[in-house]
Chain A
């Protein structure tokens, strides 16, 4: 058997699967079925009818849904092929997905969520038969209260952006309850907070004011003061922001908000470097949320559904969406009182949110305990600063702000020097990294740090993993000087080669459904 030489950490022989796989709608073949149901026995039909003719006419669809007609084997093959063309979390070292806190999510939690006790229950069952999951949701709420200092949590928001939107809705309901709903129409956020901190409130109709960073990378306090007025409804911020710089003056910001009667909302989607270290309440926040699919190790993105666990201080509890889970000393129950009060913003999702995600987070927290959570934060910060030190020793890598100081759990680096020397952009490097089976992420948009890279190791990769990632980056940087063409024409070993990205910028060409695609490409539906 040929041994792989691992002295060189760079995996040069990676090759991603590449299938000429059409969209599933294009695979359709009239009459093909996954499962063919046997015809009804004639004696049964004679006795009870055909089962269809008694349905009132008005309840029939005008035409059958246009679903693909395809056999099970072909469906299976289709999705397996697509999965092979995905650079999945279990295949690559996910350090390159900065801000996403992509950590190894223990499979045991998946197994728990797949137990029949979880998969075969329904929210409409009698509460006495679902005491287990209600208890888990109740206790997870208690854990999060402890972690954040907030007084109550709700798991309805099914992601970070929705949690931000709910925070904006609560801010509006709060100000309306004080007769200031119409006046307070501005939300302040920062350039390096997640774009959803602006986008979600904007969707709610708020005007958005951004604060630029000062020379140290902290949100400019003077600009913040100038932006604050009687029109301010709330302040949305991540801390640390995407730069990995922790704003040690955040309390001054929340204090100013209190003084003008506005609310402070903490985007803790990624709280990996802070567990057991700092809390939202002590920093002066009125609300916060955690992405269970990031910090709390439930799989991220396409790996599964998400939850933005939303917490508020006591005076905001009445505005929460409902129901909440309570315990009366004997049994756990869904408290609908909250939804029925006139202040609640109402439901944002059916029932209690995505219960299996809460179960996975509960399991993860229980497996670690309070000390373990603190250990997560500590290791995540140490890992990040190990990578920070290693990468900053490279001539082409730099990181703006607080020179010489440590970062929290991630860093936004810049390879501007490499670009100036070679003309190779961060997107070029991104494509080349795929040739080695590695994700690499630049930054949110637009690029405030020139030619950015955002890396976040979390607590789970080993030193070996981090060294491999760094070695691969170094290898690619070297190529930029010695063989730039190989980078400019990358990827060579990945599923897709370079795409014509023009359509990405042209809403007229966007098609988010098959029907829309057909319409826009003027193809005829068959």
Chain B
């Protein structure tokens, strides 16, 4: 019997229907505008996909609208680990529930919500559990979400029945809803969580596994390291794609921070913009990877590499790396830049070869 955690954010999505571009902090307003909770209805589509393995799972959840009500409708074996206060729950409820799930050591955590919920789940569990998001919120940017609730259920089912399931790390992103309501998109990369590997874009037989995606990251790392020039600073941007470069050089790294190396030795981890500007001289290169699903190469999640730093390094010394799967997730969209310097953004526009493997590049367009 496998333990599957379920956390439903019952208010997720309420702001969307009434034009509020999210529900964070505006629940009362959404209610006044007539929004009704629909998260559980959508989550039920995911549970539907789990019915065929009903006898193999116990669902661990919270009372009432955070899971219990729905699970009981389906008749799954259920265990309640936390009492919800009322139907209109808050972030605290999500975070507390997720922490309980870590203690419970559930095999998989299924949660229903949007980017805000994903962020809260991430704060509570970091990389301790494997999670799948059921998209029921307004903003769905993180790759932790399946493309629809049914698919979330299917991914969960496959993961549960698989004897050696594979996982991948995906970004937890969120948009500042206050700014978004003013039509300003400000995304932030919060961190990475583990999710079942989904063979959505890559073929099953040849290039379709997390193993081959990781292998591609290592191919890129070998290509980069072999071509590293002497007496040149390399700024290594954040992300799981750049990580193998540091691992290959046997250097400590920060996943969310910016690291600096020189002659294949570490100068410093986790530098600020100021530190970068103070340290850099002579030849410098920047190695960065776009944010998964969005394509931002500057201005999201790596603000330390500011316009001033980019100007100092020079456009021709920017090396962009990404696996083919990561580029696939952009679905044909361009790479994006959004630094604090509009003129620089314009200068960065144009075509660039993104390193996708050993001695391999794919031409991509950069737009601002």
Contacts and interface: CB of A to CB of B under 8 A. Distances in A.
A224 B361 CA distance: 12
Interface stretch (A46-54, A270-278, A402-410, A444-452): A444-452
Interface stretch (B30-38, B90-98, B115-123, B144-152): B144-152
Given A207-B359, A223-B364, A446-B203, 8 more contacts: A208-B360, A209-B353, A226-B363, A227-B351, A445-B205, A501-B205, A504-B206, A505-B211
Given A446-B325, A505-B208, A202 B201 contact: no
A210 B361 CA distance: 6
Interface string B193-222: 000000001111111110110000000000
Contacts of B361: 207-210, 227
Contact of A423 (B150, B208, B332, B365): B150
A521 B205 CA distance: 21
B324 A502 contact: no
Contacts of A222: 351
Contacts of A444: 203
Contact of B151 (A212, A423, A504): A423
Interface in B124-161: 147-148, 150-151, 154
Interface string A490-520: 0000000000011011100000000000000
A220 interface: yes
Contacts, number: 87
Contact of B350 (A198, A211, A226): A226
Closest 8 CB pairs of A and B: A505-B209, A226-B351, A445-B203, A223-B363, A207-B359, A210-B362, A446-B202, A445-B207
A441 B332 CA distance: 23
Interface of B: 49, 147-148, 150-151, 154, 164, 166, 201-209, 211-212, 324-325, 328, 332, 350-353, 356, 359-365
Interface in A176-226: 191, 198, 202, 206-212, 220, 222-224, 226
A363 interface: no
Contacts of A450: 201
A427 B204 contact: yes
Interface in A431-471: 442-448, 450
Contact of A227 (B202, B332, B353): B353
Given A445-B207, A505-B212, A506-B211, A212 B202 contact: no
B359 A202 contact: yes
A340 interface: no
B360 A501 contact: no
22 contacts: A191-B362, A207-B361, A209-B353, A209-B360, A209-B361, A210-B363, A212-B332, A212-B362, A220-B363, A222-B351, A223-B364, A227-B353, A420-B147, A427-B204, A445-B206, A446-B201, A446-B207, A446-B328, A450-B201, A502-B166, A504-B204, A504-B205
Contacts of A226: 350-352, 363
Interface string A418-433: 0010010001000000
Identify the interface centre among A220, A222, A445: most chain B CB within 10 Å of its CB: A445
B201 A447 contact: yes
Contacts of B151: 423
A447 to B, nearest CB: 5
A447 B363 CA distance: 17
B360 to A, nearest CB: 5
A227 B166 CA distance: 36
B360 A211 contact: no
Given A443-B203, A445-B206, A502 B164 contact: yes
A209 B363 CA distance: 7
Contact of B359 (A208, A420, A445, A448): A208
A127 B108 CA distance: 73
Contacts of B204: 427, 501, 504
A496 B229 CA distance: 52
B329 to A, nearest CB: 11
Identify the interface centre among A210, A427, A443, A444: most chain B CB within 10 Å of its CB: A210
A226 B364 CA distance: 10
A448 B328 contact: yes
Nearest to A447: B201
Contacts of B352: 226
Contacts of B201: 446-447, 450
A224 B365 CA distance: 11
A427 B328 CA distance: 18
Interface string A132-166: 00000000000000000000000000000000000
A202 B360 contact: yes
B208 A198 contact: no
B328 to A, nearest CB: 6
A447 B203 contact: yes
Contact of A420 (B148, B203, B324): B148
B262 to A, nearest CB: 25
Interface in A95-144: none
B351 A223 contact: yes
Contacts of A207: 359-361
Contact of B364 (A212, A224, A442, A505): A212
Contacts of A210: 356, 360-363
B363 A445 contact: no
Nearest to B150: A423
B351 A445 contact: no
Nearest to B328: A446
B360 A502 contact: no
B67 to A, nearest CB: 23
A224 B353 CA distance: 10
A6 B359 CA distance: 55
B49 to A, nearest CB: 8
A220 B350 CA distance: 13
Interface string A218-238: 001011101100000000000
A313 B154 CA distance: 55
B208 A211 contact: no
B146 to A, nearest CB: 10
Nearest to B325: A446
A398 to B, nearest CB: 15
B317 to A, nearest CB: 16
Contacts of A504: 204-206, 208-209
Given A446-B201, A501-B205, A227 B363 contact: yes
Contacts of B359: 202, 206-208
B363 A423 contact: no
Identify the interface centre among A198, A202, A227, A505: most chain B CB within 10 Å of its CB: A505
Interface in A460-488: none
